Amino acid sequence: MIDLKNKGLLHGGDYNPEQWLDRPDILAEDIRMMKKAGVNVVTLGVFSWSVLEPREGEYHFDWLQDIMDRLWENGIHTILATPSGAKPVWLDETYPEALRMDEWGRVRHHGVRHNHCPSSPAYRKKVEEMDTRLAEQFGNHPGLLLWHISNELGGSCYCPLCQKRFQTYLEKKFDGDIEKLNHAWWTTFWSHQYQRFDQVEPPFANGETSIMGLNLEWKRFTTWNMTDYMKSEIQTLRRLTPKIPVTTNFMKLYPGLDYRMMAKELDVISWDSYPRYHNDYESLYDTCMENAFDHAVMRGMSKGRPFLLMESVPGAVNWHAFNKMKRPRMHKLAALQAVACGSDSVQYFQWRKSRGSFEQYHGAVVDHLGRDDTRIFLETQETGEMLKKLERVSHSLVKPKAAVLFDWDNRWAIQDMKGLSQEKKQYEQTCMTMYRLLAELGVEAEIVSRDDSLEAYAFVAAPMLYLLGDGTAGRLADYVDKGGHLLATYLTGYVDKDTLCWLGGFPGDGLTELFGLYSEEIDSLYPGDKNYVKFDDESIGEVRDFAELLRVKDAEILGTFTEDYIKGLPAVTRKQRGTGAAWYVGARLDDASLKGLLEKICREAGLSADPLPSNVERHVREDDRFRYTFYLNYGSAPAAVKASGTNLLTGAQAEAKAVIPPMDGAVFAKSI
């Protein structure tokens, strides 16, 4: 298989020359400008179906061949997308089964994109024919680097074909025994028992939405079915071009698909990043740390390899509530952040703005102005130069010693559970907060899922692990028994994989033993309610949103509530097991006190917490010989940091300290 390792850091983006085939001058200009901007890769073919096959069976590949050849003659690689992200009109006309049905049972009309039925045999066949031809024609092209399956696979389809597949999927899952399903989904409640699998409908918006097990299983099925569809594309390409790796672009923490499942089928993980920079509700640092978390989610799925930033925007997108321009230096800093977090590419949507239609005002390297001296072009060019200086970093890895457990099944189950305060559940934000606070302490965290091995980590934070799948509790206990430090919070271990509550005390499935306590109640606080935790060192933390009434059997009490009916009762505990410890925090704490607790745990876990100056982010990538320390300063003042080695961006040497200017970054290389 092509080793992306030899390709350095990739720089480029989505390119749609098919929109400009009648403007050879523009196509020639594109290549000139790409070279000027230091572009070494473009993604072709996304949404190009109606040009590649304007009528069924009539293939027009010459333009693509010509462009790929010319790009390659100029040293620019191609990531070739299969065009299945949008359907040509003839396809929907001839094969209406390819049209999606929505959750209200309405068949969609032709149009827009990302809306095929993943079950449709006709659609799969048409895609297979297309992919076969693309692989046959371009599989040996020297410029071809990577296959890009479709684009941002997503959504779900409720059509009769999908319903049938869902029923077959359930039948297999529950061993053909409908009573197993009835028990797992607790269908006696409200008289919801099924007699046959073919009675089970998806959770239509105007139908059965009240069975938590059904809702969760539908989400799992949607992932399974979309992955199955994606695999059908992958199989065709792997069969014909086994040397070309495959990817598909993920969308941040997209809630509709469990990316962990899809990731298993891909050679390379890639994603599209569009943070709301410079907004008016949080600091730039906070915006960037959310993005760092997203990068870490991708890294966590990358099986020890770098991932790719497939899309980001030069300038502004056209779909945020406020499409604010990236301020000077932001673009370069965001690019540096991607590489710092473990990406081996910085790519854009899009190279050139389309002249008309839906995304005509979406940011691009080349504007309608068509000039190569715009602010955005010049900053892209500078980014290209920066990536060139960082070439040797490619293929090095970020190797965190701590982890935050973030799980799709769990987020789905929490989202759907009826109880607590709906809007304050904030599972994703809670995981991000853990990640950010650890980052502020100078501790890099990996984002892991419930099935991942925890062996490499001295500390694992598993906030709000409401759903415990088969074996999860055992794995956590095993981790602590082997010397790991585990932190759990309120709302841990309430339900099993089908969302049935554990009996005999939360956290269930044996975790009451591990933590030496059980949770008797969970209380939701109004925003105006006040409660606090007093720690054994006399420090006080503020409680927000949730507090549990804990009964401690055999754990050390580190903090107690100060108010209300839980006054004096335990809030934070620790139970030693061998050399490891199971920590529990039964309340949502304010950031400062949670950070204090994390610092204490990190120290005990042997992780040297080395707090960073405010507004500064740090990551370390390493290869066999070198350690590359990245610093990014999002603040408006210079920041003094600990650093030694050569700054790859300036060539300057650092002995022990360095100053990072505002809105700037540095990368220090030091031999190991």
Q: Is 528 exposed, middle or buried (0-12, 13-18, 19+ CB in 10 A)?
A: exposed
Binding status of residue 274 toward ligand GAL by CB under 6 A: yes
| Pairing outcome for strands 639-642 and 657-660 | antiparallel
Is 319 marked as a binding-site residue? yes
Q: Which two tokens stand for residue 138?
A: 């371009």
As measured in angstroms, the least distance from the Cβ of 81 to ligand GAL is 10
Task: Give kind and range of the element (H or E) at residue 660.
Answer: strand 657-660
Q: Which two tokens stand for residue 591?
A: 């950031």
As measured in angstroms, the least distance from the Cβ of 133 to ligand GAL is 23
381/390 Cα distance (integer angstroms)? 14
Residue type, 473: A
The single residue listed with the structure tokens 């190991």 is: 672
- 617: annotated active-site residue: no
Is 113 marked as a binding-site residue? yes
Decide: helix, strand or coil at residue 491. Answer: coil
The single residue listed with the structure tokens 């319903």 is: 163
By CB under 6 A, name the one of 18, 53, 152, 446 that touches ligand GAL.
152
For 269-327, the three-class secondary structure string (H helix, E strand, C coil) is: CEEECCCCCCCCCCCHHHHHHHHHHHHHHHHHCCCCCCEEEEECCCCCCCCCCCCCCCC
As measured in angstroms, the least distance from the Cβ of 234 to ligand GAL is 19
Are 373 and 222 in contact by the 8 Å Cβ rule? The answer is no
Site string for ligand GAL, 37-56 (x = CB under 6 A): --------------------
Is 583 marked as a binding-site residue? no
By CB under 6 A, name the one of 40, 151, 236, 449 that touches ligand GAL.
151
Is 159 marked as a binding-site residue? yes
> Dihedral, CA atoms, 430, 432, 435, 440, nearest 10 degrees?
-100
Show Cβ contacts of residue 452 under 8 Å, excluding neighbours closer than 6 positions.
300
As measured in angstroms, the least distance from the Cβ of 19 to ligand GAL is 13
When the beta carbons of 311 and 452 are compared against ligand GAL, the nearer one is 311
When the beta carbons of 49 and 185 are compared against ligand GAL, the nearer one is 49
When the beta carbons of 44 and 609 are compared against ligand GAL, the nearer one is 44
Are 621 and 628 in contact by the 8 Å Cβ rule? The answer is yes
Is 162 marked as a binding-site residue? yes
134/337 Cα distance (integer angstroms)? 34
When the beta carbons of 127 and 465 are compared against ligand GAL, the nearer one is 127
Binding status of residue 317 toward ligand GAL by CB under 6 A: yes
Binding status of residue 311 toward ligand GAL by CB under 6 A: yes
As measured in angstroms, the least distance from the Cβ of 250 to ligand GAL is 10
In the set 18, 53, 152, 548, the catalytic residue is 152
Say how many residues make up the chain.
672
238/234 Cα distance (integer angstroms)? 6
Binding status of residue 362 toward ligand GAL by CB under 6 A: yes
In the bound state, the residue with its beta carbon closest to ligand GAL is 349
Read off the DSSP letter of residue 218: H
When the beta carbons of 186 and 274 are compared against ligand GAL, the nearer one is 274
Is 431 marked as a binding-site residue? no
76/12 Cα distance (integer angstroms)? 9
In the set 53, 233, 290, 311, the catalytic residue is 311
- 311: annotated active-site residue: yes
By CB under 6 A, name the one of 18, 92, 258, 272 that touches ligand GAL.
272
As measured in angstroms, the least distance from the Cβ of 309 to ligand GAL is 13
Site string for ligand GAL, 160-189 (x = CB under 6 A): ------------------------------
Are 409 and 531 in contact by the 8 Å Cβ rule? The answer is no
Binding status of residue 349 toward ligand GAL by CB under 6 A: yes
- Site for ligand GAL, rule CB under 6 A: 151-152, 272, 274, 311, 317, 349, 359, 362
Q: Catalytic residues, which ones?
A: 152, 311
- Per the annotation, where are the binding residues? 113, 117, 151, 157, 159, 162, 319
Residues annotated in the binding site for substrate, as ranges? 113, 151, 319
